[in-house]
């Protein structure tokens, strides 16, 4: 197989499975480990994947701003959000973390909900104004204009004072081995604290977020109670998360 064909095969596998392993590629392509490592190094230098020990992961672009993400895959996010709303009916104190999919959750919470909803997202807080029976708390902090979310020491301190029945976590990437990761350190601190304060944590993730990694660690995937994702996700990936003790709901 020519080098170009071999690297095209590697990129296709990264795209569909989220990761590649050197040993597996040597068997599939009938070449040496050194050849595969050189291929991965070349593709990494071109910015087409992220090189890690023993293989490579796909790259997640963090360049889109919040408004762009809201428009992307909007109907799928709405479908996932509607399913998530069925899990919050008995919760009295809910935290909705920032994120475009979580905005869809806020837009689909039933009007009869009469609990308290806390958020660090101005956009989500505004969308909750339609709920006449619910109490809405918008935490203070420094505003991340690109992601339209509040963060920082004051946000963290406020979260530390609250016991949450349920958190709907905003997620950038999930990987069965590495865990939940995000692109910024400040974001990782807030999300990690949400796990500490919550009786239940739900993550909603479109399929392109699964088996991907970002920069800063939040928690192991096994810390999640529920993962809601698309029905088109590969069964092997779904089974992997289930084996970690996560209740996986596909829509």
Please say whether the beta carbons of 142 and 150 come within 8 A.
Answer: yes
Closest CA to 80 of 233, 224, 231: 231
| Burial category of 40 from C-beta neighbours within 10 Å (exposed 0-12, middle 13-18, buried 19 and up) | buried
- Say how many C-beta atoms besides its own lie within 10 A of residue 42's C-beta: 14
DSSP bridge pairs for 149: 144
Please give the pLDDT value at position 46. Answer: 85
Exposure b/e, 73-85, CB count within 10 A at least 16 = b: beebbeebbbbbb
Average pLDDT, the chain: 92
Interval 107-129: pLDDT, tens: 999 999 999 999 999 999 999 99
Overall average pLDDT of the 136-161 stretch: 95
DSSP string, 201-236: EEEEE-GGGBT---SEEEE-GGG-SEEEE-TTS-HH
Overall average pLDDT of the 188-212 stretch: 95
Interval 47-97: pLDDT, tens: 788 888 889 987 665 446 777 778 778 899 999 999 999 999 889 999 999
Please give the pLDDT value at position 60. Answer: 61
Distance (Å, whole) CA 20 – CA 228: 24
Please say whether the beta carbons of 182 and 172 come within 8 A.
Answer: yes
**Is the model's pLDDT at 204 over the cut of 90?**
yes
Coil, strand or helix at 183: coil
Q: Are strands 166-169 and 116-119 parallel, antiparallel or unpaired?
A: unpaired
Strand arrangement, sheet containing 19-21? 19-21, 55-57, 50-52
**Is the model's pLDDT at 5 over the cut of 60?**
yes
The model's pTM is: 0.78
Token pair listed for 170: 């905003």
């Amino acid at each position: 197989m020519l080098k170009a064909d071999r690297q095209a095969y590697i990129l296709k596998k990264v795209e569909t499975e989220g990761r590649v392993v050197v040993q597996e590629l040597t068997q599939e392509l009938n070449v040496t480990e050194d050849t595969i490592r050189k291929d991965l190094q070349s593709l990494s230098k071109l910015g087409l994947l992220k090189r890690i020990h023993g293989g490579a992961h796909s790259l997640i672009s963090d360049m889109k701003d919040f408004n762009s993400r809201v428009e992307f895959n909007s109907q799928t996010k709405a479908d996932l959000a509607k399913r998530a709303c069925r899990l919050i009916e008995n919760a009295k104190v809910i935290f909705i973390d920032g994120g475009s999919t979580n905005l869809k959750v806020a837009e689909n919470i039933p009007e009869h909900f009469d609990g308290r909803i806390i958020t660090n997202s101005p956009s989500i807080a505004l969308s909750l104004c339609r709920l006449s029976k619910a109490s809405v708390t918008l935490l203070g902090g420094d505003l991340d204009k690109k992601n339209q979310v509040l963060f920082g020491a004051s946000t963290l301190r406020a979260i530390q004072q609250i016991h949450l029945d349920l958190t709907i976590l905003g997620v950038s990437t999930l990987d069965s081995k590495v865990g939940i990761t995000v692109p910024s350190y400040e974001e990782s601190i807030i999300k990690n604290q949400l796990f500490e304060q919550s009786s239940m944590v739900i993550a909603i993730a479109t399929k392109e977020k699964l088996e991907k990694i970002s920069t800063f660690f939040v928690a192991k995937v096994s810390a999640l109670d529920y993962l809601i994702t698309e029905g088109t996700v590969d069964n092997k990936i779904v089974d992997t998360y289930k084996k970690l003790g996560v209740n996986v709901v596909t829509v």
